[in-house]
Amino acid sequence: MAVLDDAYLWLEALDSPEVRRWVADRNAETFAALAGFEPTRDAIRQVLDNKDRIPYPGWRGDGFYYDFWTDADHPRGLWRRTTPSQYRLDKPEWDVLLDVDALNAAEGESWTWDGVTVLRPDYDRCLISLSRGGADAVVVREFDLRERAFVADGFRVAEAKTDVSWIDADHIFVATDFGPGSLTSSGYPRVVKRWRRGTPLAQAELVHEGLADDVAVRAFHDPTPGYERDFIGRFLDFFRSEFYLLAANGDPVGIDVPADARWDVHRDWLLIRPRSPWTVGDVTYPPGALLAAEFEPYLSGRRELHVLFNPDDHTSLSDWTWTRNHLLLVTMTDVKTRIDILTPDPADWRRRPMPSPDEFDHTWIVDTDPDNDDSYLISSTGFLRPPSLGLGTVGGAVTLLKREPTAFDADGMEVRQFFAVSADGTRVPYFVVGGATAGPTLLTGYGGFEISMTPGYDGVIGRSWLSRGGTYAVANIRGGGEYGPAWHRAAQRENRPRAYEDFAAVAADLAARGITTPAELGIQGGSNGGLLMGVMLTRYPQLFGAIVATVPLLDMRRYTQLLAGKSWIAEYGDPDDETEWSHLRSFSPYHAVRPGRPYPPTLLITSTRDDRVHPAHARKMTARLREYGYDVSYYENVEGGHGGAADNEQHATLWALTLEFLWRKLTPPRPGG
């Protein structure tokens, strides 16, 4: 790869004294420029710390609802549980299993919660992942649920990007950093081992290993009683994988599905969702379809497939979840959800719909208990309707358990959906939230990795933007998953500019409809959405009045050299390939900055502890914009990982800086006012 002149490579040093001084100076400038933002920060903190918000539970199948909770008194959080009968009360009695703030005080650490894996079906032990400051790298420690304490001589994995799965009480699968050569070029585990209790991790038995240029490997155990199975596999890139069932003699048996398919096994059934056309016999199944086959006959070579879902131009498969005996299928039509209940049968699958939510609400299945029964937790929300949580059983009614209080007064506000026409004629949906009066508008989008932007209640946006008279808009551009794999593939690799044309079309449509003006239109996005913001800045600056990019990806020449960047080649392309670099360079924001352009004021936000998207992307972009004298502000949080913040106080600061920056830039004081 030819080395391009880059005067700011020194900002890739994560934490050198020179870089620390540069970051401290930029942070101080931003705080000075946004002096007086504290009331906005405090209002946001009240929303985030509200003790009346819904404590979303996860079932573990042992008669308890588990929840991880943060508020002002517990900024790093409590892992706790309660009984179903207690949970129905307005003020449940919670049994605290782990207080992360108390743990930090005792150990002198800055742990953040990163999840838990509970041993099934005994439910007496678990593996807790803790992250320093919110990074992707974690420490894994075994925890005794009966004693409410870490197991002194239990399983423990040092800080790394680790994946673990219980096999039984004395064995786990672990994929982690085992030393030189054990990581992929993306920085994830290349090797997975079976570790027996009481033995050193170094002596764990090798189960599977991938290639250096794979993204990662993993192994997991299916503990469903009567269907216990072990699976191993490697992720070839971000969207393709190959997996095997470990036979009783330890031999791997291939799961013969397309490499780009998502698949799932539940008891007797295998589900397959291909991402590209798949021909079986004389039938070709479209991308985004959902197919079912009996698992054991399928492994033996039979290809009798049931079509559970076929996409069309307006409808895509969003998700699915199993209960013990049924499949809950979530679909979207023009970004509006519907849920169907499917009952498996070797001859045919029976289908019936659940009651539909309000037109612009989004509904999803929170959790089920597929080992034991056909109950489910279901939640629904809208841009102007706080979430509600219900408990249902297939064949019965849904009982309302919780309803979140309102965070802002939505009187006089409405939700509308429009379609903009992109450069190639594609109709692109977007939502607009707010009152009838035109004014400052905040537009957001993502457009990558087949991730959908769906309606949802955001108390932060509501209280600190909508309530001030602003309008909020969400663009469902290509690259996302709103219309299935084809919508994503339309903006993948060399087609990436389609996503940017879509977003620009939405911005222009907002102005054409009189909802806002370019001078009053601000935009915000994070991660891949931060890349989107960088392209808007350098390609379409005339459409916007201000831009905020959070934990952004911006240097598309060196992104594969920084942290986890190489794992995204399947999404963007490989800059080491000259043909692909020509596509990447056409939109790489860092390389597109030129003097004398009408760039709007820009704020770049990142985190020193982001070990997924390197903070150098934001640092270098800021330095280059400063070099040419543009209005650019910068803030780097010392913690937070890729989420940008490690607790509600930090989240409130980031959001307050974002919203105050946009509001002030889009509503400048009038002369003499």
Residue 358 CA to residue 87 CA, distance in Å, equals 26
For residue 100, what is the enclosing H or E element?
A: helix 100-107
Residue 417, class by beta-carbon neighbours within 10 Å (0-12 exposed, 13-18 middle, 19+ buried)? middle
Read off the tokens for 20: 């620390």
For the CA atoms of 491, 493, 496, 499, the dihedral, rounded to the nearest 10 degrees, stands at 30
Helices 616-627 and 528-539 pack at an angle, to 10 degrees, of 10
Indicate the DSSP class of residue 397.
Answer: P
Looking at 527, 588, 607, 633, which residue is catalytic?
527
β-pairing, 471-475 vs 427-434, is antiparallel
Distance CA 399, CA 392 (A): 6
Q: Is 314 a catalytic residue?
A: no
The first and second tokens of residue 281, run together, are 């016999």
The two three-digit tokens of residue 565, written as one number: 């960047």
C-alpha closest to that of 472 among 634, 662, 600: 662
Q: Where are the beta strands (DSSP E) in 311-407?
A: 315-322, 327-333, 336-343, 350-353, 362-368, 375-382, 385-393, 398-403
Query: Residue-wise over 203-229: b if at least 16 C-beta within 10 A, else e?
Result: ebeebbbbeeebbbbbbbbebbeeeee
**Structure tokens belonging to residue 305:** 């497939």
Report how far residue 611's alpha carbon sits from residue 551's, in angstroms, rounded to the nearest whole number: 11
Tokens 């489910």: give the residue. Answer: 376
Distance CA(381)–CA(53), nearest Å, equals 13
Distance CA 551, CA 450 (A): 19
Q: Which of 221, 266, 362, 642 is catalytic?
A: 642
> Which residues are CB-contacts of 164 (< 8 A; sequence separation ≥ 6)?
117, 127, 129, 140, 155, 157, 172, 173, 174, 175
In which order are the strands placed within the sheet that holds 74-82?
Answer: 58-59, 65-71, 74-82, 95-99
Q: Quick one: the chain helix, strand, coil %, rounded to 5?
A: 25, 35, 40
For 654, phi and psi rounded to 5 degrees?
-60, -45
Q: Is position 182 annotated as part of the catalytic site?
A: no
Asked whether 261 and 273 are in contact (CB, 8 A), the reply is: yes
Provide DSSP, 597-613: --PPPEEEEEETT-SSS
Angle at which helix 497-512 crosses helix 528-539, to 10 degrees, equals 70
Specify the amino acid at residue 438. Answer: A
Q: How far apart are CA 201 and CA 156, in angstroms?
A: 9
207 with 193: CB under 8 angstroms?
yes
Q: Which residues are catalytic?
A: 527, 642
